Amino acid sequence: MNSLLEVRNLRVEFPTRRGTLVALDDVSFAIEPGEVLGVVGESGAGKSMTGAAIIGLLEPPGRIAGGQILLEGRRIDNLPYEEMRRIRGRHIGAIFQDPLTTLNPLYTIGRQLVETITTHLPLNPAQARERAIEWLELVGIPAARDRIDAYPHQFSGGMRQRVVIALALCAEPKLIVADEPTTALDVSIQAQVIALLKRLAREKGTAMMLVTHDMGVIAETADRVAVMYAGRVAEIGPVREVVKHAKHPYSSGLMASIPPLDRRVDKLAAIDGSMPRLSAIPQGCAYNPRCPQVMERCRQQRPDLLPAGETRAACWLYAHD
């Protein structure tokens, strides 16, 4: 039985004049049908890069330099552009942070939806238009039948993101890659959009890779979570375990540094320093200069993901040898 999506030892490189930067290194995880995998990390951790590699939209000169990406057991990381374009949309939908960059400002939202539907599903334009109206109703656009011929700029930010969700889901893909889908939205709108994404994913049985820096969003939405640091997966496991009993010192530090809403603390638990640049990733474990539990081994050898309770953590604390 294959996973819906399997990423194996993915490595992404950026050749530059001053040498090759390794943006992702040895990233492996799987997403099962209908599952929501949260991917968290701070800026530069490689979480968006992972999403971009999966949908085949890495910004040049970035390129996949190793590993495999399999969708239902079939490799998709080495497909020609045209073939990948058909998979994108039909099998993998994408939602980005800024709805204005996803929507074409020159076309009505109806035209964009109909084009997506007729490209991927065996429907004629009239049927596709009806389907588009159904989708707009489903994502909560009021008076969908009247608004289908409106342009993106005629919608507010929250409404635009709903249109983007309709666009990503209308060809009924099995997997959605959502990159910071609510980051540009105000908190009251964010709650509406998350509730919508969750409901649709459940009703349609769509699996989702939810990339965000907001741990609260992950805690409420994801089944499992992968914590990324400096281009690698630091910890992966069931969301409750990672949030409540994180095993990797970075994940527990990250959780502790989130200011709580329900009480005031005198001093927040900050992590000293900041994430290394890609050009200066430390030897051994990339987190070792900031880690309060650093050992000699961490400065020399890079740990792989090791079983740690119910999660797996890339940390020598869990080596039993």
Partner 1 sequence: MTETPMLETRDLARFFDVSRPPLQRLLAREGKRTLRAVDGVSFSIPKGTTLSLVGESGCGKSTVARLVVGLYSASRGDVRFDGQDLHAARRDPAQRSRMQMIFQDPYASLNPRWRVLDIIAEPIRAFGLVKGDAAQRERVAELLTQVGLSPLDGVKFPHEFSGGQRQRISIARALSSNPEFLVCDEPTSALDVSVQAQILNLMKELQSRLGLTFLFISHNLAVVRQVSDRVGVMYLGRIVEMAPAETLFTSPRHPYTRALMEAIPDLEMSGRQRMPVGGEVPSPIDPPSGCAFHPRCPLANDRCRAERPELKAHALTETACHAVEEGRG
* Cα(72)–Cα(116) distance, integer angstroms: 22
Stretch that binds partner 1, among 27-35, 81-89, 129-137, 210-218 (CB under 8 A): 210-218
Q: Any idea which residue has 């489903």 for tokens?
A: 138
Site for partner 1 in 122-161 (CB under 8 A): 156, 158-159
38 lines the binding site for partner 1 (CB under 8 A): no
280 lines the binding site for partner 1 (CB under 8 A): no
The token duo for 134 is 């159904």
What one-character-per-residue DSSP string does 83-125 give? Answer: HHHHHHHHTEEEE-S-HHHHS-TTS-HHHHHHHHHHHHSS--H
One of 268, 296, 300, 304 touching partner 1 (CB under 8 A): 268
* Cα(212)–Cα(125) distance, integer angstroms: 36
Q: How far is CA 27 from its chain centroid?
A: 13
Stretch that binds partner 1, among 9-17, 167-175, 235-243, 297-305 (CB under 8 A): 235-243
Cβ proximity to partner 1, 50 vs 251, nearer residue = 251
One of 207, 208, 225, 275 touching partner 1 (CB under 8 A): 275
Q: Phi/psi at 253 (nearest 5 deg)?
A: -65, -40
258 lines the binding site for partner 1 (CB under 8 A): yes
Contact 18, 279 (CB under 8 A): yes
One of 11, 90, 213, 297 touching partner 1 (CB under 8 A): 213
201 lines the binding site for partner 1 (CB under 8 A): no
The token duo for 155 is 């919608």
One of 81, 265, 280, 320 touching partner 1 (CB under 8 A): 265
The token duo for 112 is 């964009």
The token duo for 15 is 């050749």
One of 3, 11, 34, 42 touching partner 1 (CB under 8 A): 42
Q: Which residues contact partner 1 (rule: CB under 8 A)?
A: 42-43, 156, 158-159, 186-192, 194-195, 213-217, 219-221, 239-240, 243-244, 253-255, 257-272, 274-275
